[in-house]
C-alpha cells in the first residue's frame, strides 16, 4: 500500500523532543525519510530509534538553528544522504526564560536568545531549505508559530514577538515563492504538554489548570494533533494552501 510521504525527504528542526519528535515519527509512519536535527545528540538518537521502529530511514544532525553554518549542514545532510529535500518543519523554539515576566523586567540577553532561536532560526532554515527546493522545482515548508503568534498573551514579550514574527516571515516567503512551487505555511498550537511547557506552566498545578481552561474543547492540545496538521499542510492534499497560519488550538483563539 502506498503511503502519503513515500520516498519523500523531510527535515525537522528541534526533533529531539516534544512536538518535533512526534511529528518525525508521524512522517516516518507515512513513508518519509527523515533528517532530524536538534542540539542534543542522545535525545536525537532516541528520535531516530523511534523513526526506525516505524519502519523508516533517518539521519540525525546535531546543530543550532541560530547558526547559519549549522543550518547549511542540516540541509546538506538531506541532500547528501537522500538526494533531495521535499518538506521541512521548522519547529525548534524556546519559551525565553521564566514565563509571565513583564516587559519592563524582561532580560535583554533572554530577548536576544529567543529572537536568535525562534525567529532568526526560522529565517535561516527557510533560506537554505528554499535554495535546495528551487533546485528541485518545489517543496513544502511548515513553520512553528503558536497561539501567541495570533493573539496577545502575557507569556513573555520575546515569545509573543517572535511567534508573531514567524507568521510574518511565513507570509513573506509564501508570496515570494508561490510561483516556483514552494508552499510555506505555519501552525499555531494551543498548549501542548512538553518539556517546554513543563518548565513554563506545569510545575504549578493552579497555573496548569488555568492554561487548560483557556481551551474551549476543555483539554490541552496533543502533539499528535499538531503533527496531523503539519502532515496535512506538507502533503499534496494542501496543494492550494500557502501563507496560512493554521490554529491547532481547541478553539483558544476563537473567542
Ligand atoms: N508546547 C506547547 O504548548 C507549544 C505551543 C505552541 C507552540 N509551541 C512551539 O513548538 C515548538 C516545539 O516545542 P515543544 O513544546 O515541543 O518543546 P520542546 O522543548 O520539547 O521542543 C523544542 C525543541 O527545540 C530544540 N531547540 C531549542 N533550541 C534550539 C536550537 N537553538 N537549535 C536547535 N534546536 C533547538 C529543543 O532541543 C527541543 O528539542 C517550539 O517552537 C514552541 O515554541 C509549543
Question: d(Cα 25, Cα 47) in Å, to the nearest integer?
Answer: 8
183: containing domain:
9-190+223-246
Contact yes or no for 171/150 (Cβ under 8 A)? no
Express as a percent the part of the chain with pLDDT over 90: 98
In-domain check, residue 196: no
Question: Ligand 1 center to residue 107 CA distance, Å?
Answer: 20
Local structure of 1: helix, strand or coil = coil
Local structure of 179: helix, strand or coil = helix
pLDDT band at 1 (very low <50, low <70, confident <90, very high): confident
Instruction: For residue 159, indicate whether it is catalytic.
Output: yes
Express as a percent the part of the chain with pLDDT over 70: 100
In-domain check, residue 26: yes
Average pLDDT, the chain: 97
Q: How many domains does the chain have?
A: 1
pLDDT band at 216 (very low <50, low <70, confident <90, very high): very high
In-domain check, residue 65: yes
Rg of the chain taking only CA atoms, in angstroms: 17
In-domain check, residue 3: no
Local structure of 12: helix, strand or coil = strand
Query: Which residue from 37, 65, 196 has its CB within 8 A of the most atoms of ligand 1, so it is best to mutate?
Result: 196
In-domain check, residue 253: no
CATH assignment at residue 233? 3.40.50.720
Residue ID of nearest Cα to ligand 1 atom 31: 64
In-domain check, residue 2: no
Question: d(Cα 69, Cα 255) in Å, to the nearest integer?
Answer: 43
Q: Is it the case that residue 255 has pLDDT exceeding 90?
A: no
The pLDDT of 192-216, averaged and rounded, is 94
In-domain check, residue 154: yes
Q: How far is CA 100 from CA 104, 166, 200, in A?
A: 12, 21, 9
Q: What is the pLDDT of residues 12-24, one digit of tens each?
A: 999 999 999 999 9
In-domain check, residue 251: no
CA 55, 88, 222, 117 dihedral sign is: positive
Question: Ligand 1 center to residue 234 CA distance, Å?
Answer: 19
Amino acid at each position: 500500500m502506498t503511503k502519503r510521504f513515500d520516498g519523500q525527504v523531510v527535515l525537522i528542526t528541534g526533533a529531539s523532543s516534544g512536538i518535533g519528535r512526534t511529528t518525525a515519527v508521524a512522517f516516518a509512519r507515512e513513508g518519509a525519510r527523515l533528517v532530524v536535527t536538534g542540539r542534543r545528540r542522545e535525545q536525537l538518537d532516541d528520535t531516530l530509534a523511534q523513526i526506525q521502529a516505524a519502519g523508516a530511514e533517518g539521519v540525525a544532525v546535531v546543530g543550532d538553528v541560530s547558526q547559519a553554518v549549522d543550518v547549511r549542514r542540516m540541509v546538506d545532510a538531506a541532500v547528501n544522504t537522500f538526494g533531495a529535500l521535499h518538506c521541512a518543519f521548522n519547529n525548534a523554539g524556546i519559551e525565553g526564560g521564566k514565563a509571565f515576566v513583564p516587559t519592563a523586567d524582561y532580560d535583554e540577553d533572554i530577548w536576544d536568545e529567543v529572537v536568535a532561536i525562534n525567529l532568526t532560526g526560522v529565517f535561516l532554515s527557510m533560506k537554505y531549505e528554499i535554495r535546495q527546493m528551487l533546485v528541485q522545482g518545489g517543496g513544502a515548508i511548515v513553520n512553528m508559530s503558536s497561539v501567541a503568534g495570533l493573539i496577545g498573551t502575557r507569556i513573555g514579550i520575546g515569545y509573543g514577538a517572535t511567534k508573531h514574527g514567524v507568521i510574518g516571515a511565513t507570509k513573506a516567503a509564501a508570496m515570494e515563492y508561490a510561483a516556483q512551487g514552494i508552499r510555506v505555511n505555519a501552525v499555531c498550537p494551543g498548549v501542548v504538554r512538553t518539556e517546554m511547557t513543563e518548565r513554563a506552566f506545569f510545575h504549578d498545578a493552579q497555573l496548569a489548570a488555568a492554561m487548560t481552561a483557556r481551551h474551549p474543547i476543555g483539554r490541552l492540545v496533543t502533539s499528535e494533533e499538531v503533527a496531523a496538521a503539519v502532515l496535512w499542510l506538507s502533503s499534496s492534499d494542501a496543494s492550494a494552501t500557502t501563507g496560512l497560519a493554521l490554529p491547532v488550538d481547541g478553539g483558544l483563539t476563537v473567542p
